[in-house]
Each structure stands twice: as C-alpha cells, then as structure tokens.
Amino acid sequence: MRKKIVAGNWKMNMDYNEGLALFSEIANMVKDEITGQQQAVVCCPFIHLYSLSQLAKGVDKVAIGAQNCHQKESGAYTGEISAKMVKSTGAAYVIIGHSERRQYFGEDNQLLAEKAEAALNSSLKPIFCIGETLEERENDSYFDVIRTQLKEGVFGLTESQFAQVILAYEPVWAIGTGKTASAEQAQEIHAFIRNEIAENYNQQVADDTTILYGGSCNPKNAPELFAQPDIDGGLIGGASLKSRDFLDIVKVFN
C-alpha cells in the first residue's frame, strides 16, 4: 500500500512567532484527531525548520519539509541553503520544482533534476512538482508537458532513488486561483503519470509511488479528489495556513 500524504506549503508566509503558533495548533490537532496511517507534512520557510522539527519530534504522523534547496552541497552561493543544511535541521522532506520556483526563479527541468538528486543524496524525500499552465491545458499539449517534466526531472534517477520521491501534480491554473481541477481531470492525469512511471521503471514502482494533487484543494473538495484511485493525497497552499482547514484535509484519510 502506498503512503497517503497531505503536505502543507506555507510559501513565504508566517514570521517566526506566527509559524510557531500555527504549527503548535497543527501538532496538537494531529495528536488528537489523526487516527489513520496518513502522514501530514508541513513545508515551512527555512527560518522555521529547526524549531518546528523540534516540536514535531513528539508527534507521530507529522513531519517537516523545506520548500526549496540548492543543488550543490556547499560553496560560494551567497544566500542559498543546501539539502544537507535542510536535513541537519531535522526536516525530512523538501518541495522541488514548485511552479512558483519554475515561473519566478527560472528553474527548469535540468536544474530541478540536480536539486532532486541533491535532496536524495542528503536523505531528504523530494516532493517533486509537475503540472501544466492554462495555455498548455487549452492547447492540449499538457500530456506532453507532463511527460517531459517527468523524463527530464526525475526519470534519470535510479529505481531505488525514485522510490523515495513523492510526486505532486499541480496544474498551474489551479494554484491559488480557487479554480480546482475536477476530480475526473485530476484522476486522468494521475493515471497518466502512474502509467509513465510503469513504462520508465516498472509496474511495482508505479503502484508504490505516492502522487499528490495540488491546486486550490480545501476541506470541501478534498474528499472527492482523494477518493480517486490514483490520488494519494494533496499539496495544500492557502488552506494549510489555517490549522482547522489543514487538519480537516488531513483527516479525509482517517
């Protein structure tokens, strides 16, 4: 059985104290309310990683992740944070290739492949994001776009490396827009992704890969999305900043 995961992406929100307060609420709710085998992950800004990892220590079912890392282990890269540094805080996950990184910071598939490898070399689990823009959806090139993102971004990894990767399908037109992909649209792509994994690796690897949906996911639409056979959880932006909403999404897997 592949793992069910609900990961929050705080993006560039929450100062240090606000982040601590929000995470304390989340951790208490996870302790009290999660009864299933699902994993909650909170992907916070770098400044919170160490403190939240300490708070998460006593709480089964919640882990901490970063939202980015540099592709090199160390060196003269002023202002950057390596995967090794992220790992040293106690974090276990890192988002790689979020569409905002691709769009605003020019991160392309080749660079993201290096980042995924760097994360794995530091024993972090990459949450690797893929997804098409509105234009690519409307001109029907989205299957090709996603195939290329997979091929260039993660399919260069060995089978045992890939086994540590979580994929997140996030249609760019659904991120932060309030416009969710329908359960059918999302399932269609998730099934396509799983098939691509089977073709590149094998069926067992495909069956074992956790594939998250992201894009305006909330407590109302999560049950229908997560009921799809190839959707194994969510990557949650806006709704992860409200402890009650985030927990209600995690609880879909109770």
Binding site for ligand PEP (CB under 6 A): 9, 11, 98, 170, 175-176, 214-217, 235-239
What residues does 39 pair with on adjacent strands?
5
Q: How many CB atoms lie within 10 A of CB 86?
A: 27
| Least gap, CB of 101 to ligand PEP (angstroms) | 11
Distance of closest approach, residue 144 Cβ to ligand PEP, in angstroms? 22
- Look up 170 and say whether it is catalytic: yes
Which is nearer to ligand PEP, 209 or 216 (by Cβ)?
Answer: 216
Q: Is 98 a catalytic residue?
A: yes
- Closer residue to ligand PEP, CB minimum distance, 26 or 236: 236
DSSP assignment letter at 51? H
Is the Cβ–Cβ distance between 186 and 227 less than 8 Å? no
Which one of 48, 98, 107, 132 is the catalytic residue?
Answer: 98
Shortest spacing between CB 194 and ligand PEP, in angstroms: 20
Sign of CA dihedral 74, 78, 83, 86: positive
Residue-by-residue DSSP string for 66-88: ES--BSSSSSS-TT--BHHHHHH
Q: How many CB atoms are located within 10 Å of the residue 206 CB?
A: 19
**Cβ closer to ligand PEP: 100 or 206?**
100
Catalytic residues: 98, 170
